Amino acid sequence: MKGIGKIAAASIISNLPELGYINNKEASSLVGVAPMNKESGRFKGQRKIQGGRHQVRTVLYMAMMSAIQSNPVFKETYQRLVEAGKPKKVAIIACIRKMVVTLNSMLRDGVMREAPKA
């Protein structure tokens, strides 16, 4: 996948051996990029990311910075979110979550490369 280099791949393989054997929600929670609700009764708080494996999240953050430049799918997603008024860091984390879900699906299905979008 464009944006995933040798260091990111090694970090994912060593720190997330479960990837490919779990569902997408579990994968994003395991990395720590799933939004968690802070709600109780009528109180509605902001959703934030928390927990997960911070080593992988840090590496994927830097990989996403590269992927936004080279991968047209993530570039379009990032630009769409920023134009919708999301803060840039929130848009990057949303793209990381999309990357984790895509990588999980690729490993589960045995696909070695991302299929080109038509």
Which of 43-47, 54-58, 79-83 shows the highest mean pLDDT? 79-83
**Mean per-residue pLDDT, 63-75:** 93
Whole-number average pLDDT of the chain: 87
**Mean per-residue pLDDT, 26-48:** 82
3-state secondary structure of 96: helix
pLDDT tens by residue, 87-112: 999 999 999 999 999 999 988 988 87
* Residue pair 96/19 in contact by the 8 Å Cβ criterion: no
Spatial distance between the Cα atoms of 114 and 116, rounded to a whole number of angstroms: 6
Residue 118 predicted with pLDDT over 50: no
Whether the model clears a pTM of 0.85, i.e. scores above it, the answer is no
91: left (phi over 0), alpha (psi -120 to 50) or beta: alpha
pLDDT at residue number 93: 93
pLDDT at residue number 52: 84
